[in-house]
């Protein structure tokens, strides 16, 4: 069973419907015990980093998600959920994240003609040194849907699974072991996104 973590921020039902569209069972839960029992865990999110991490900590969902990652279960952060995987965010001050991946979350630099937030369709470039199993059976440069003003700067280049340009390259996806993140929204990315969610359901369990 896939558990989609409900901490009050995110388009949870649309993520659930996307998994259902690829034939997977996915439940939405705010119960840390349900996260602990899950085979796979998705951490979605839309909104402010500080509010999100505070709610995760208040409910104990932060510990449940971290334990799922350490247990070897496939875990995926989406949009804000991907940013929460990192050590620190610069959004409205400095805020500590889950610390599962080294790096920080920063804002796009304002400049004439650059639209912030970065919103709409953009193409991915995959990192050849970190082939990600979520991107199997995809075209060379698939288009996906973004909505964000902040992006992650991983401390380890080898954690980057894909980039996009706005206008310079930024990290669009990360992967390390059983932990994955997408800055874009697979559930809004049509066929490409459904393939990503289907691939997530097919990842081998690493739980002993």
Q: Which tokens go with 52?
A: 């999100």
Q: Is 79 a catalytic residue?
A: yes
CA 27 from centroid of its chain's CA atoms: 17
Q: pLDDT tier at 199 (50, 70, 90 boundaries)?
A: very high
Q: pLDDT tier at 208 (50, 70, 90 boundaries)?
A: very low
Which member of 55, 75, 79, 118 is catalytic? 79
**Buried b or exposed e, range 23-53, using 16+ CB within 10 angstroms:** ebebebbebbebbbebebbbbbbbebbebbb
Q: pLDDT tier at 2 (50, 70, 90 boundaries)?
A: very high
Q: Is 75 a catalytic residue?
A: no
Asked if 69 and 144 touch (Cβ cutoff 8 Å), the reply is no
Query: Pairing state of beta strands 118-123 and 143-148?
Result: antiparallel
Which member of 75, 95, 166, 187 is catalytic? 187
Q: CATH assignment of 2-201?
A: 3.40.50.880
pLDDT digits (tens, 9 = 90+) for 88-146: 999 999 999 999 999 999 999 999 989 999 999 999 999 999 999 999 999 999 999 99
Q: How confident is the model at residue 205, as a pLDDT?
A: 78
Question: Could you tell me the pTM of the whole model?
Answer: 0.96
Share of the chain above pLDDT 70, in %: 99
DSSP string, 110-137: P-TT--SSEEEEEE-EE-TTS--GGGTT
Residue with tokens 């247990």: 71
DSSP 100: S
Asked if 30 and 7 touch (Cβ cutoff 8 Å), the reply is yes
Q: How confident is the model at residue 10, as a pLDDT?
A: 80
Which member of 95, 118, 166, 185 is catalytic? 185
Asked if 18 and 57 touch (Cβ cutoff 8 Å), the reply is no
């Amino acid at each position: 069973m896939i558990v989609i973590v409900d901490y009050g921020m995110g388009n949870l039902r649309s993520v659930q419907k996307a998994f259902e569209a690829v034939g997977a069972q996915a439940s939405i839960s705010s119960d840390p015990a349900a996260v602990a029992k899950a085979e796979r865990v998705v951490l979605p999110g839309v909104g402010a980093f500080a509010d999100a991490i505070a709610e995760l900590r208040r409910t104990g969902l932060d510990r449940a998600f971290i334990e799922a990652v350490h247990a070897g279960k496939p875990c995926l952060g989406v949009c804000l959920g991907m940013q929460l995987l990192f050590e620190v965010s610069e959004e409205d001050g400095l805020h500590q994240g889950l610390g599962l991946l080294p790096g920080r979350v920063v804002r796009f630099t304002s400049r004439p003609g650059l639209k912030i937030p970065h919103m709409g369709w953009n193409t991915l470039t995959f990192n050849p040194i970190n082939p990600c199993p979520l991107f199997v059976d995809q075209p060379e440069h698939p288009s996906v849907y973004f909505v964000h003003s902040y992006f992650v700067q991983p401390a380890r280049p080898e954690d980057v699974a894909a980039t996009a340009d706005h206008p310079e390259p930024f990290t669009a996806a990360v992967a390390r072991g059983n932990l994955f993140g997408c800055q874009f929204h697979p559930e809004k990315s049509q066929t490409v996104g459904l393939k990503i969610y289907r691939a997530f359901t097919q990842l081998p369990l690493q739980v002993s």
